[in-house]
Amino acid sequence: MTGAPRCLVMGAGRVAGGHFAPLLEGAGWKTTLVCRNGEVREAINEGGGLWLRTVGGGAEDRWVGGVSAVSREGTELANLAAEASLVATAVGPTSLRDVGRTLAPALRHRLETTGRPVNVIAFENSPRSAQLFAAGIIEAEPALAREVGRRVGIGGAALWRTVSKRDITPEGMRFDANREDDCYVDGASLVPGLPPLDGSVPGLTLVRSFNDRMVEKLWIFNAGHAAAAYLGWHAGCERLDEAMEQPEICDTVTAVVEEAGAAFKFYLDSRPGSEPIPPHSAEKILSLYLDPALRDPISRVGREPRRKLGHDDRLIGPAVAATAAGFEPFALAGAAAAALGYAEPNDPQALDLQREVSLLGPDEVLATVGTLDRHDELTRLISGRFRERMSRGVAR
């Protein structure tokens, strides 16, 4: 293989276009995005790249070249996977297993025809991203089970950047994002000597305690992010910054971030061998939610509430740790209650969750979705906050 190294990215959404493709372009790489949407593919291929608008401390537009797009159903996927120096996914946790099944034949073809190992980075907000992707490829190609960890490295990534928008414009594909560029990759799960472990992709911080970094991201940043979205939706807001302008919501979100920070400290202290992680200031995190230049839609941040109420995700995870630490997570419980009542009509998962709550009640839903004991104190606290909210009525 000659010329610039190339990365094959499964997905052409906000993370792929608003973070990883620009990062690769800055390091001299070419990027191929794999996506279903024909209009997105056409917009990217017509100009051979995309626009990135970064905000925070002034807006800046940047052209990102060397980007192409192909269909998931195309015949070129096997050859692209065979030639790639690195593979990545950026599709969301709920689609990760399916993407693993899609990519499995191409990975098998690569190993059979070239013999070259490859690393896969999963840019998903889940501590189980590597396992979900591996499960997908093994379901489709059982022979790959013996290659995972040997010739196919699969490592998760914890990204702090918010990419609020993806638009097709007359000038081409455009992404809006903030300037946060912290990105932690599970270096321990990747094949040594290959990108990104060879240093060819600056901007990725390789860590061995990846689970701690993913929990940090989900609890410290995403808990407050989700709280602002769900509370804002109930208040009739359309954007995150509008929600944070309301003093009551801002105070509650601040308390969520503080509770999550205390829970994360307890989590680290209780894990033997955990490495110290410098704390992020609550003021800095809150400022990211407040930025009006991002115009971050609440429907984007709040989507898929059932997943976000999972036992290891952003609201229930820190609430359980807080309870174990001996303090009542009152603000986190209120945010989880708001998520239980989130009924955005354009979010199919939110509507499914509402049907479950109406049929089974909040206690049973928390037991099935968040794997909480329906009789324990945290379940009673969240359910109580939910019933209190419903008795007051909601804006929508």
The CA-CA-CA angle for residues 278, 59, 16, to 5°, reads 65
- Give the C-alpha separation, 115 to 5, whole Å: 18
For the stretch 243-288, pLDDT in tens is 999 999 999 999 999 999 999 999 999 988 788 898 888 999 999 9
For the stretch 368-384, pLDDT in tens is 999 999 999 999 999 99
**pLDDT-based confidence at 303, cuts 50/70/90?**
very high
DSSP 64-117: EESEEEEETTSTTHHHHHHH-SEEEE-S-HHHHHHHHHHHHHHHHHHHHHT---
Greatest C-alpha distance within the chain? 66
Q: List domains and CATH numbers for the chain.
A: 6-208 (3.40.50.720), 211-392 (1.10.1040.10)
Judge contact between 159 and 177, C-beta under 8 A.
no
For the stretch 2-57, pLDDT in tens is 689 999 999 999 999 999 999 999 999 999 999 999 999 999 999 999 999 999 87
Instruction: Spell out the residues 6+ positions from residue 233 whose beta carbon is closer than 8 angstroms to its own.
Output: 298, 302, 338, 342, 344, 396
Helix (H, G, I), strand (E, B) or coil at 176: strand
Q: Quick one: pLDDT at residue 394?
A: 56
Average pLDDT score over residue span 151-173:
96
Chain centroid offset of residue 72 CA = 21
Q: Which tokens belong to 370?
A: 């968040």
Burial 279-293 (b: 16+ CB within 10 A, else e): ebebeebbebbbbeb
pLDDT of 1 strictly over 70: no
Q: Which tokens belong to 195?
A: 């990108």
Average pLDDT score over residue span 324-339:
98
State pTM to two decimals. Answer: 0.94
Helix (H, G, I), strand (E, B) or coil at 325: helix
- State the sign of the Cα–Cα–Cα–Cα dihedral 139, 141, 142, 144: negative
Q: Quick one: pLDDT at residue 390?
A: 87
For the stretch 48-83, pLDDT in tens is 999 999 998 788 999 999 999 999 987 899 999 999
- 215: part of which helix (H) or strand (E)? helix 210-216
Average pLDDT score over residue span 314-328:
97
Judge contact between 247 and 255, C-beta under 8 A.
no
For the chain, the average pLDDT equals 95
Nearest to 343 by CA among 365, 360, 363, 358: 358
For the stretch 135-146, pLDDT in tens is 999 999 999 999
